[in-house]
Chains A and B, each alone.
Chain A
Amino acid sequence: MLFNRAKFGLLHSTWLVLSLVITGVCGAWYASTWIANGRLPGGGSSVGFACGVFAGLICLFEFALVFKKTWLFRTCRSILGIPLGSARWWMAAHIWLGLLAVPLVMYHTSLHFGGLLSTLLAVAFYIVIASGVLGLVLQNILPKLMTNLVQEETIYSQIDSVGAQLAADAERLVLVFGGQPTTEVHDPAEHDPLAARRARERGLPVVGAARHVGTLVKLSRDPRVPTTAEREGSPELERALQNDVLEFLRTGHGEGGRLGSVSRLKWYFDDLREHVRPEAREVVEQLRALCERRRQLNLQSKIHFWLHCWLSVHLPLSVALVWLLVGHVVGALVYN
């Protein structure tokens, strides 16, 4: 969910005010109890208990977002006539209630975590909150960064597949220019098992850049077909293709990182451009464009990792948090 001043809007303002009011009311109640008793209220005191119950219910609501995002409720608008709310409303509630739970938990615990179970619960809670806040910050920064830096953005899971297709395209470019077909023709299906499987199921040959949507279409000449060179090929181009370009396009890594950055990539192809015949320079430019595209996909992969890695902490600990919450409730009621 993106925050900005222009779009903060009524939704977030409402949640912000509501959270501040509840925090203030509970804080005043807590302070008055503290002053009256002369010591920090425990979790079983009126204010501690109320804050604990409220925070517990918030935790359960927060966890409900997991189910809201499943196929069962993703498109469901209401249950038994009760509107479920939009995804935007859910995310706003998730964020603001999660933040509201922090002071409530502090009022409940008075920063004393107690035994092992309740300590685990508190630690899980604070890590979940911290990872959620980190995620919120990252989700507000990185997408803009990605838009600016990665113009060739594609679907994250398809980066390697697209890279393989770019490699096949590069190979074809050099072949068309007059080069020799590689003795070991790259099979893009190796890099996209799903596409290969689906192609084989249909009895189609897998050649060049695999097209696994609809009918396989060959966009260029079959690279397995040896060509009779109408013009003399460029050994420099073929050497660059075999030594650096293909590997970089397929894997995103190259020997010595020669193509790993904008400047290196520029130096590499400027140098190559100086060494090839003038008619091959257009191919060099096209290879450079393919490598630049792959470089951006690499960058997208890194940004995507930071954009979503916090979820690998947030979600698992949220699951643990709910279980620990159950244990804490039982323990608190049995042995208060």
Chain B
Amino acid sequence: MNAPDQPGWESAKQRTRRIALDYYRSWTRLDWAKRGCSALFGLLTAVYVLWTIGGWLVGSEGASKQFSPGPVAGVHQAWNGKCSACHVQFAALRADAEGTRWMLGLFTPQIIAADGTLANPPPAEALGSNRQCLHCHMKNGADHHPLTGSAVELAPQEATCAGCHFDHQGIDADLNRVANEKCTNCHGKLKTYDSTQHNVSAFNVAGHPPFALPATDPGNIKFNHAQHLLPWQMKWEPRAGEPPPSLKMQLVCADCHQFDEAKMRSESGSEFGQVAAGAYSLPIRYEDHCASCHRGDLQVAGGQIPHGLKAAEVREFLAGVVGRESADTAKLSPNQPIPGKKPGDNLAQERDASVQRRLDAILPTLWSPDEEFAPKHEAHCAKCHRFDTPPAAGQMPAVLAANIRSFWFQHAKFDHATHRAVNCADCHPQAEAPPAAATGDIPLDDHLVMIPPLETCVKCHAPGKARDDCAECHRYHAGNWQPHGPGHARRAAGQQDFSDFMRGFPAAGVK
């Protein structure tokens, strides 16, 4: 068609004459689509944005929610759409919001601080972030941190609650799971302030100090884990007039170290607050964990000493048992008069002296450290218990409290339940110590602290493996030591009016 000699050929002039000069005034379908959609989208978006801004101005919850960067944590769901419950308008909450803070500072160079003074630059408190948090999480109790007010000073933005616990990370977010850096900001340079402290940079051998554990177990029960874990343990089943039969059994760790949350709380009181189900082992109790095998260790003179009696009570109990034996013998005496002695009184004196002699013979065996000194199948307190001081002649020494620990870490938490898939001995190998080579005996191990060292934990808790962040083990405010929580005082002191609580601040405003 380009060649003039071809059919249908047209010159350029002929072609232009087919086109109207004002063709551009008419819109094509694409023009309509482009301009129509632009108008439609622009209108819809404008309505939406103006609604959100207008809603913010009049305090509409639904409109303000559009600005929310995400749902707040479950514990704050009641205020999910109430921005003013936590936010002070035109005040940056996040610790790292230096940019926004700088921008706002350009427009508000003078901020009225909480005490009415002008502050420039505005302190974090004056920006209102902590004020809103502390309205519920009252700060009248324990300090936020023991070092508060000391030489260690946090940057204003780090000192805000949201500096570590920023919300809007979803309903399932754990606000206690702060980033490691929030901790290491200070703990990474503790030696700067106190040369006795360790710098903590990460959870590994180089970056974390060894666990702060006592050198020896402060418990006062003589015990031998390996011995108890040997097969064919003998279970005591008393039968009248017969020696105990040998019911053989195999003990495992869980026979004594049991885990249950509900019982734990009732047993330990509120000192440790709420702990997760199965996190810690229940206290070891004679009745629950020892008596089934060791009931025979409390038999003496044909009687069973109740476990838990104090020293004086043991003597009184034994006197009763031994006296009853003597009385039974004395019942026969009135029919057999003894020359030169009055019936009754002389027998009583004799009986008392006999009881005293018997007691003097029995009692030392109870606390003698020499097990062989105690008759077989007779009561022997010292088999398991230790005493505070060597007893005076004829006196019972005071039994030291068992002091078996359930909690070993004061500043960290542990959950046995989450580690239940692992063999106990993998973390506590000392419990299966082999017999001594010389004697073949298995030594007592109750003085050993069987808490695994840091090196054991970091085998699994390392980058790329199990979690190794600070918050995995540590709770800054309200871990196992409840008084650390700023909200503790609120719980202890006073509650809010319901409407104030749901609003997030008092009707009269934040004070």
Contact = CB atoms under 8 A, between A and B. Distances in A.
Contacts of A162: 18-19
B21 interface: yes
Contacts of A112: 69
Interface in A298-314: 304-305, 308-309, 311-313
A335 B19 contact: no
Contacts of A68: none
Interface stretch (B92-100, B146-154, B330-338): B92-100
A288 B184 CA distance: 83
B309 to A, nearest CB: 58
Interface residues of A, number: 69
Interface of A: 37-39, 41-42, 44-50, 52, 112, 114-118, 151-152, 154-158, 161-162, 165, 194-195, 198, 209, 211-213, 217, 282, 285-286, 288-290, 292-293, 304-305, 308-309, 311-313, 315-320, 323-324, 326-327, 330-336
A191 to B, nearest CB: 13
Contact of B52 (A52, A198, A331, A333): A331
B1 A292 contact: yes
Contacts of A318: 38
B181 A38 contact: yes
B20 interface: yes
B1 A316 contact: no
Nearest to B31: A157
Given A37-B96, A151-B1, A213-B20, A282 B52 contact: no
B37 A334 contact: no
Contacts of A327: 48-49, 52-53, 66-67
Interface stretch (B82-90, B135-143, B261-269, B297-305): B82-90
Interface residues of B, number: 63
B28 to A, nearest CB: 5
Nearest to B100: A44
A318 B39 CA distance: 11
Given A116-B65, A305-B30, A331-B56, 16 more contacts: A154-B15, A158-B19, A161-B18, A194-B26, A211-B17, A213-B17, A213-B19, A292-B1, A293-B1, A293-B8, A316-B41, A324-B45, A327-B49, A331-B52, A334-B87, A336-B104
A158 B25 CA distance: 11
A127 to B, nearest CB: 11
A150 B87 CA distance: 63
Contacts of B100: 44, 49, 332-333, 336
30 contacts: A38-B181, A44-B96, A44-B99, A45-B97, A45-B98, A48-B99, A49-B97, A49-B102, A112-B69, A116-B66, A116-B68, A117-B49, A117-B67, A157-B23, A157-B28, A194-B20, A209-B18, A213-B19, A290-B8, A293-B1, A311-B34, A312-B30, A316-B42, A318-B38, A323-B48, A326-B49, A327-B48, A331-B56, A334-B56, A334-B87
Contacts of A326: 49, 53
A151 B15 CA distance: 13
A312 B168 CA distance: 36
A316 B38 contact: yes
A335 B56 CA distance: 10
Contacts of A44: 92, 94, 96-101
B186 to A, nearest CB: 14
B67 A335 contact: yes
B389 interface: no
Nearest to B169: A112
Contacts of B22: 194
